[in-house]
Structure 1
Amino acid sequence: MTTLFFSEYEAGETGSPLVIFGAGGLGREVLLLLRQLNARHPTWDVRGFYDDQPPTTPTVAGLPYLGTAADLNATAEPLAVAVAVGSSASRAAVVGCLTSDKLTFPTLVHPQVEPDADQRITLGEGCIVQQGCLLTCDISLGRFVLLNLGCTVGHDAELADFCSLMPHANVSGAVRLGAGCYLGTNATVIQGVTVGAGSTVGAGAVVVRDLPAGVTAVGVPARAINSEL
């Protein structure tokens, strides 16, 4: 696994070819992120979009639709890939299908989320951190973690692979999110709570006690609606 410390964060080479997998709304938001990164430091030559569900038009936000995951695996040139898929499970499935050794998965962090050595933050490959996010210190993000607009992550938090935080989700200090957790818009997990792998926290819910794996929890305080909790 590629792990990046914020103290080691630096832009890639100028003109590096990159494609976006996911031709929907999140894909267009990731394209905006890439353009914002390029405005700060010209890095990415964004070639277009791949998706197993072709868009209704031949172009998306002015860039061409290039094909499916199978087409992407057949590339003859090295390509960086940003996986713009919001669902944790679907994102993991896409990454599992992208097996070509020509493909790499850069970590993309909005330029306003300034890297700072004193934060002691690690990020796995393929992470996407969008505009307005706030991360404090001693935080670990696994592979392909998505922090959508305006999320907060507190001290000593650990977010395992393929976690997804939707806009303005809040993770307090010392929280543990298992692999593939999904936090809806404005969801909150309070200090020291653990959420098991594959669980979903509904929009606006507040998690005040540990949740097991594989449940969906809603409300304030959050209660699992598909278990006996």
Structure 2
Amino acid sequence: MDRSRYILALLTFVTIGMIIGSLFQLAFINRLEEPSGILHWENDNEATTLRLGYECDTLKAIARPRLQVSTVVDTKTGKGFKSEVRTSSGMFLNNDERKFPIVQAIEKRISVFSQIPPENGELIQVLRYEPSQYYRPHHDYFADTFNLKRGGQRIATMLMYLSDNVEGGETFFPMAGNGECSCGGKMVKGLCVKPTKGDAVLFWSMGLNGESDPKSIHGGCAVLKGEKWSATKWMRQKTTF
């Protein structure tokens, strides 16, 4: 028992230290911006990579102590349950963590890129996939009425990659494109996006006609080597808070 408490205390200390360190680094980088909004580092690839790296590492540090086995949504009840369809571990940032400057910076950039107001977004989910873990092809839009009560249907997803040096672990879109790609070491038809730290993928679950798009089906290919860390931001039709 004493050893467990010691390990928990150590993990908490390390996590807090990483978060504080990242906040100081972000503050330093933000000094490169003038009040007018002009970015002195916008054409500096090294500065951009540095900023994205700290954001990725901060999300991982926040998430690591609270990771739990991932669940999928029951289409009848709208509640989550464990399934072999999804074998990763993950957690959701809470409302207090959403107020962290570094998280707000991430959400602002997502809003600008997607043209969807920040208040229409769900809390960011952070996921970890270890070797042999995967997520079978699925849709992000809801098939139940329970989850539609708060914010309406999911219309778009921003998927952010937080780690490098991963073999496999691609994001697979079986109905996108006409070519073939490698998904967890196997050749499949469709489009595969390799997880690279600092990269992100925006895709839409709803068309301009207001109907859910079945072609938005996607999956997480099995990780062959390393750890794949990602963060997901789902955006709704209406405000979620």
| TMscore range, shorter length | under 0.3
The structure having more radius of gyration, on CA atoms, is 2
* Larger relative strand fraction: 1
> Which has the bigger relative contact order, CA under 8 A and spacing at least 6?
2
TM-score relative to the length of structure 1: 0.26
